[in-house]
Amino acid sequence: MIEVLLAGGCGFIGSHLADRLCRRNDVSRIVVVDNLWTGRIENLSAIDDIRVEFVRADVEHFKSDTQFDEIYHLASPASPPWYMAQPLRTISANVLGAMNLLGMLKPGGVICYTSTSEVYGDPLVNPQPESYRGSVDCTGPRSSYDESKRCVEAMLFGASNVHGTRVKVARLFNVYGPRTRPDDGRAVSNFITQALRGEPLTVYGDGSQSRSWGHIDDIVDGLERYFWSDGTDYSGPLNIGNDREISVLEVAQFINASFPGSPIVFLPPVPQDPTNRRPDLTLCNQVLPGWKCQIPYEEGVLRSVDWFRREMRL
């Protein structure tokens, strides 16, 4: 039976991955490690499974005598206001975290990492294939996140190439949906929480910057298939995201139309906010045939509103 370590399992995406791991019957133990920096213990409240053990610890300091068969490293803040406020802690969680986790991997086991489209920076090609080397300012305000993700990729592919370690690296594009922190700070959740409070929707810059919004249910379907259910050995990197590219302003206008009490206001642009982001899914279509994001943002947003309303006790 398989022993699994899930780092960052109380986070937005991590907790959804925990739900999926609990559906497996080949797993005997799921150790969830989270320091509850941006993750929240409530995100595991739907889980009632004796195989799940929660350990409150920093991923980079967690120790265990177990050698795990499968390790999932999702322990990182993902929201710019959060990681920009604590750049060293962000690098530590990702890079020192990955180094620590590698030491707990059973020989022959697999370590899976959720990297990010931020490795492409403010991309000069659109859409972005995995081979695109990116345009990241390694001295800039977003660099603690971007560069630590890139560095962990280098670490894992180095481990794979030199030591034969089995790795899987997914590059996630923008994800939204239930269990996003209401104070996360990214556009979709911002707009929903603002609309529910009857506040103006805050658009940074002119709103023409585009994103590829993937609903969490779609994204976790892709992760589940890539990480374990499809049986692929492809080490990545693999883009996983929605290739329908939408401007921030369009999302604001849709939410404004649904919640007419919330006008759109424009604030100064965020420094080094990428102007565009869209995954090239050519490789993904080969590795995960038939998978794609099914939920249009209009539906996904409305499906998320109920969760945010309960969460905010409105």
Residues annotated catalytic, as ranges: 145
**50-58, 130-138, 276-284, 286-294 -> range binding a second copy (CB under 8 A):** 130-138
- Smallest CA-to-CA distance from 194 within 256, 247, 250 is with 256
Q: Which of 20, 22, 55, 87 binds a second copy (CB under 8 A)?
A: 87
CA atoms within 13 A on the CB side of 69: 11
Q: Which of 38, 43, 117, 144 binds a second copy (CB under 8 A)?
A: 144
Rounded distance between C-alpha atoms, residue 121 and residue 272, angstroms:
9
Q: Which of 57, 102, 125, 283 binds a second copy (CB under 8 A)?
A: 102
Q: Which of 10, 32, 33, 91 binds a second copy (CB under 8 A)?
A: 91
Type of residue found at 102: L
Q: Which is nearer to a second copy, 165 or 262 (CB)?
A: 165
The pair phi, psi for residue 233, each rounded to 5°, is -105, 10
Least distance in Å: CB of 113 to a second copy? 12
Q: Which of 17, 112, 119, 288 binds a second copy (CB under 8 A)?
A: 119
Rounded distance between C-alpha atoms, residue 54 and residue 56, angstroms:
7
Least distance in Å: CB of 96 to a second copy? 6
Start-to-end CA span in the chain (Å): 44
Rounded distance between C-alpha atoms, residue 5 and residue 102, angstroms:
11
Least distance in Å: CB of 150 to a second copy? 4
**5-13, 78-86, 215-223, 299-307 -> range binding a second copy (CB under 8 A):** 78-86
Least distance in Å: CB of 225 to a second copy? 21
Least distance in Å: CB of 154 to a second copy? 4
Q: Which of 19, 137, 243, 250 binds a second copy (CB under 8 A)?
A: 137
Rounded distance between C-alpha atoms, residue 73 and residue 59, angstroms:
9
Q: Which of 159, 246, 295, 305 binds a second copy (CB under 8 A)?
A: 159
136 binds a second copy (CB under 8 A): yes
147 binds a second copy (CB under 8 A): yes
Q: Is 152 left (phi over 0), alpha (psi -120 to 50) or beta?
A: alpha
Q: Where are the beta strands (DSSP E) in 156-242?
A: 166-172, 175-176, 201-204, 210-211, 214-215, 238-240
Helical packing angle, 297-311 and 248-258, nearest 10°: 60
**41-49, 89-97, 202-210, 218-226 -> range binding a second copy (CB under 8 A):** 89-97
- Smallest CA-to-CA distance from 4 within 31, 26, 25, 35 is with 31
Least distance in Å: CB of 38 to a second copy? 17
> Two tokens at 145?
């996140």
Helical packing angle, 187-196 and 297-311, nearest 10°: 60
Rounded distance between C-alpha atoms, residue 121 and residue 158, angstroms:
22
Sites for a second copy among residues 218-237 (CB under 8 A): 237
The pair phi, psi for residue 171, each rounded to 5°, is -105, 105
> How many chain residues interact with a second copy (CB under 8 A)?
41
172 binds a second copy (CB under 8 A): no
Q: What is the DSSP string of 205-224?
A: TTS--EE--EEHHHHHHHHH
**156-164, 216-224, 252-260, 304-312 -> range binding a second copy (CB under 8 A):** 156-164
Which residues form the interface with a second copy (CB under 8 A)? 84-88, 90-92, 95-96, 99, 102, 119, 121, 133-141, 143-144, 146-148, 150-151, 153-155, 157-159, 161-163, 169, 237
